[in-house]
Chain A
Amino acid sequence: MVLELQKPRPIWQIMFSTHHTDVGLLYLIMSLGFLFLGGALALAIRAELFLPGAQIIGDAMTFNRIFTVHGTTLIFLFIIPFASAVGNYFVPIMVRYKDMAYPKLNAIAFWMIPPSGALIWLGFADFTWYATPPYSIISAPGPAADMWIFGLKILGISSVLGSINFVVTILKCKHPDMSIGQVPLLAWSFLSSSLIILVAIPTFAAALLMLLTDRLGVTGFFNPAMGGDPIAYAHLFWFTFHPEVYVLVIPAIGMMYEIIPRFSRKPIHSYGSGIFAFVLLSIVGFSSWAHHMYATGMSFTEKTVFMVGTLAAVPASALHVFNFVATMWNGRIRFSTPMMWAVGGIALFFSAGAGGVANAAMPLDFTTHDTYWVVGHFHLFVMGTIAFGSIGYLYYMYPYVTGRMYNEAMGKVHFVMSFIGTVLVFFTQHVLGLYGMPRRIFDYPPIPEWIAMNQIASIGAMIIGVSMVIFLVNMVYSSGKGKPANPEDPFGVGGKYYYPFEAKNPSH
């Protein structure tokens, strides 16, 4: 067992370490920091939209900057680094290797994130996380926009380095006695998501450079005034960022694959179908990018192709849901905090997927596209599925990291409030979208349905906000004062805590 916080160490020892658990700890703390920062922005947005008219945010420009940085922060500075934290902790142990394959590269990949986070936050750009040209070229104020572009550029390099490290660690450094078919599903999820990153990110890296030179006025790739085409950017962007959705969700599903069997006290229903679904998702994930672009004037044939590509991803996701339910079936389930988060996450994953089918169907997309329906839809994924899986896993790894138990009652209150809040906010936003409210608007006309739905959503957001304070208190307080965990079986579910390949780390 590698227990990180049990003996006090000076902070620079952790900061300048290249050991995988230390880097994992840095990822963990930084990503949680950005979770709270990004979450605070979300609360500001919801408070502003509680009523028509300016509420707490004085002007539209500030509002536009806030939702841009909110999205960028939570996707790139919370979800991805959080997954890297879990991967750094567990992948080397799961493949029974002493560290990541390239420890120094690992530390470098981490240390690229704080400067890019600083660029994004100090710039506070306003052109949405999609940086849509030609707005981002001719209209978006600098230097915020340029700082955002550089920030994302650095993050992209960091992701690529991290992914190379995961792929090499899993494929080349796994214990010789272990075949690839015996690698736990969490490690498989990192293998799949890392391979997606390696294929997808370079496209966006190129698009970012083109965007930057367009802004400088030396090229006109996406600037119609110079003969360019903004739709080209849309293709390049979504070719990276639709697969990126799977990069975000696959590790969270991998985390659920650790939690669900543990607390159901049963082996995974089908290990093989889990791997199959991961691999299938990472391949078909590349066939659906232009479903974000139905309304850009695509031909009927193009739309049909991308609708089929999108629908093809559904059976793979559905396989995971089946696997989870079949694992829980007839299990002796103990609903400890991590299990509650995982099960809640599966329920919301299913709901989000069902809404996604409606988006993919061509005629329905014209009702939902760029409305609050879409906001609700992808938040059910990023919050309801990915954050739920991640937070569940955080509770699960908590005794492993700190040697202490969190407060179970507070953990459960955190879950119940977050679940209710998530349903209130994001299910309501689906309905709000059907009433036609566009996304990314600072103010709205006083249409009674819009006001009612916005108020329900804002109340839900406040409930989540309060639950996150409880979460923060629980994490901080328990790390010093929590009751010491039983390292063999902290959750009292029987069996060994980390059953697959519990290896002592020789360098620790």
Chain B
Amino acid sequence: MAHSNWPEWIYVGVVIALMCWVGAEAWEAERLVEHVPEGAEIIKVTGQQWFWTFEHEDGTKEIGELHVEKGKAYKFEIHSKDVNHSFNIHDYVVLMDAIPGRVNTVWFAPDAVGEHDIQCREYCGLIHYNMRGTLIVEEPHS
């Protein structure tokens, strides 16, 4: 090609630099996000067609509703009894697939009292659309 191609090289350089920046930022953020704080309380989450069950460390079980305390860190251990689901609290960017035969973990620490939607984000059949629950964040007990 007779004509000079320097604008194309600059453009490609800029795109590559942008991608490196996005990648580095994402890597750094994900590394921080995945670091589970010490002493996080474990909540076992079970997905099944079409509701969520929760089991706290002290053995308390809940269906459809999850009560947690403000300011505490929680680690979810998520698994499924039948087909794939995806455990999602959108307001806290909690998302992890519930897969039969596997236990996936994700953690969060609610920072304000309130109610948030829990939903299933992976297609799981007939009533996938209504596989919903409620997260209730309460003031710390004592």
Contact = CB atoms under 8 A, between A and B. Distances in A.
A295 B34 CA distance: 12
A176 interface: no
A171 interface: no
A446 to B, nearest CB: 12
B20 to A, nearest CB: 8
Interface stretch (A3-11, A247-255, A359-367): A359-367
A1 to B, nearest CB: 31
A440 B7 CA distance: 44
Given A60-B126, A357-B19, A438-B121, A363 B29 contact: yes
Contacts of A363: 26, 29-30, 33, 93
Contacts of B125: 64, 126, 135, 139-140
A444 interface: yes
B135 interface: no
B43 interface: no
A322 B8 contact: yes
Interface in B91-142: 91, 93, 95-97, 99-102, 104-105, 117, 119-130, 132
Given A297-B97, A315-B16, A444-B129, A135 B83 contact: yes
A258 interface: no
Contacts of A81: none
Interface in B4-30: 5, 7-8, 11-12, 15-16, 19, 22-23, 25-27, 29-30
Nearest to B91: A436
Interface string A217-242: 00000001100111100000000000
A316 B49 CA distance: 43
A326 B122 contact: no
Interface string A280-301: 0000000000000001110010
Interface residues of B, number: 51
A138 B8 contact: no
Nearest to A67: B123
B88 interface: yes
Interface stretch (A35-43, A151-159, A303-311): A303-311
B93 A367 contact: yes
A441 B120 CA distance: 10
13 contacts: A64-B125, A134-B83, A134-B100, A138-B82, A228-B101, A360-B26, A361-B23, A362-B29, A363-B26, A369-B86, A369-B95, A436-B90, A443-B129
Given A370-B88, A436-B91, A445-B132, 14 more contacts: A128-B123, A135-B124, A139-B83, A229-B102, A231-B102, A271-B1, A297-B105, A307-B23, A307-B27, A315-B15, A364-B26, A366-B95, A369-B121, A438-B88
